[in-house]
Structure 1
């Protein structure tokens, strides 16, 4: 009968005990760098597509029944066999041309020996010189015919080689346009071969930007949340009269994306101006947010949301509640909590991290 009363007193006693304050987390060991004013060009983000520099529809050059064809997904080296056409008739044509040439060679050997014999007899006066000259003329004619027969053999062998379709470059078979058993005619497409290693971006930009772009310029590239760097490989110096745009090709720095991927290229749309920039390593990217961790005067962490601009040479322009000279965490920002004390490793080296530079690919 006393057990409920005792339990209640015990609970009251526990509730009356002072709460122990939670201990603060230990200082986070980080590296920092300073925000700087840098020359930045405002960007125009234009759509781009990942394309291959070599994308070909391989066609047949010989007529005949298709007996083999590479499968979709096959990765082949340059010179590898992609398809074969029934070459029975072509082999017979080669044999016929070789036989015709051999007959001429045999005839030529006989005429040459006859000419030598008649030349000796003419010198002795046994036969007339006209007979020896006639034999020499026949030998000359047969020599020319033999040359023609050699050409015919080479032509027959060339036609035979066309029955085997080989890859003009290394790539991957991505589409079959014919099937085994079909009768082919010269020029009929067989398959599509794509070089999946030589990938670049194809983009179009307003002609008004042409003066700000040149071959070898660095540009920003993005695909969703992923930021990349690229280099202008080629600028096509011809604009479209209807769209007032010109084409450019951008080579990517890093792994090649899937061909056909939709991306964007950031192109300078005006001359560069001074803007606030931070090291790329200072920016923390998470779904729905982008921020940097600023070091306060008390060496504690402050999370500052930012919007990103152009990127170059490991620096990115930003807009937000920052100013030049602010110390930002560049190593360990992902694990730092707001208000947490910071232990800075490279305080003495901060002076060597800055420098002049241009951001945004301006020329």
Structure 2
């Protein structure tokens, strides 16, 4: 009886082992394929790539003029502009109390008219003296006296005219006029305020012209040139400028130099705004991959290449510039190698993948 039970147990065990071995042989190949991650791939390609330098800097006024009056101790009686207003050359921006100056100007005008009348009388007397002298009716000394009186009257007229011009100039100083077309960017005075000569009262951006300035390292400075295009992105708009000047040297302390870019149409940009700019320095050939294929891990850039066995290999690469959805690969990859695009962020070294069309790639 015991021998019979032992034989039965050995038979059952042998059957189980045979069943297990047979089941492994009969597993379909599609099971492994179904468990692979679906991904899309793209080849590394050599393409023309715009060479750019990306830096940040402030938007500034091309020329900002500080305006004030040339009179001291005068009270501001009229302020005709405010911040943000556009003005034209010669437009009156503010006035100071000019009642005393008006009185002085009127006195100088009266003095000039008086001197002109005296000059006219001296001229007539001299002309009569000439006529009488021609007929020997007056002496030569009397004619000389008339000539001297005319010369003195002319000198008095010139003095009165100069005094009148000085009074007019002082009166003109009572009005602050725009020296050029532009936009008022700052106001530092209020009506009724007593001001001093030379004190800044208003600030004017000449012609409303703005520029973008940026500090570049030595290497970056060597790559840019006057005339290069600058693209600024701000408030959802793309603003284009052009470099008008590059500093001829670098600062000995910071080892940087400054570039100045004109902004003909600044759009929403305002002075003081700090924005990132992309300076286009030219184009060249570069090995590129879709930017989505670049995976950042542990502070390094990687791509995953796909072999014939559908297993992926992680490659550490050096990257350069990125533009139009593609990134330059400086090292670590050869042209034509297939890299994973969609799904790259979920892969590890040696994972099996299934290459599908873009629309079929699924997110795990």
In the other structure, the counterpart of 2:172 is 161
For 2:230 and 2:180, how far apart are their aligned partners in 1? Answer: 29
Q: Deviations over 1:62-85 (max 9, x none)?
A: 231111123334332332221111
Q: Which deviates the most, 167-176 or 137-146?
A: 167-176
Aligned ranges 1:31-180 → 2 under 5 Å: 37-41=47-51, 43-63=52-72, 64-69=74-79, 70-180=81-191
Q: 1:128 to 1:254 in 2, by over 3 A?
A: closer
Runs of 5+ consecutive residues of structure 2 not aligned to the other structure: 1-44, 293-318, 339-356
CA drift of 1:162 comes to 1.6
CA drift of 1:226 comes to 6.2
Aligned ranges 1:1-363 → 2 under 5 Å: 37-41=47-51, 43-63=52-72, 64-69=74-79, 70-195=81-206, 197-223=208-234, 228-252=239-263, 254-256=265-267, 257-267=269-279, 273-275=284-286, 309=321, 318-319=327-328, 339=359
**Counterpart contact for 1:220–1:265, Cα < 8 Å:** yes
CA drift of 1:250 comes to 1.1
Corresponding pairs, count = 265
Structure 1 residue matching 2:248: 3-state secondary structure: strand
For 2:85 and 2:263, how far apart are their aligned partners in 1? Answer: 25
In the other structure, the counterpart of 2:36 is none
Q: Deviations over 1:160-202 (max 9, x none)?
A: 1121111223333333212211222211211223358412101
For 1:241 and 1:276, how far apart are their aligned partners in 2? Answer: 36
Q: 1:235 to 1:37 in 2, by over 3 A?
A: same
Q: Deviations over 1:130-163 (max 9, x none)?
A: 1101211221232133223222222211221121
CA drift of 1:310 comes to 5.9
Runs of 5+ consecutive residues of structure 1 not aligned to the other structure: 1-34, 285-306, 327-336, 341-363
In the other structure, the counterpart of 1:3 is none
Structure 1 residue matching 2:179: 3-state secondary structure: coil
For 2:190 and 2:235, how far apart are their aligned partners in 1? Answer: 39
Q: TM-score w.r.t. structure 2 length? A: 0.62
Bigger Rg, which one: 2
Q: 1:101 to 1:52 in 2, by over 3 A?
A: same
Q: Which deviates the most, 144-153 or 96-105?
A: 144-153
Q: Which deviates the most, 196-205 or 101-110?
A: 196-205
Q: TM-score w.r.t. structure 1 length? A: 0.62
For 2:241 and 2:205, how far apart are their aligned partners in 1? Answer: 22
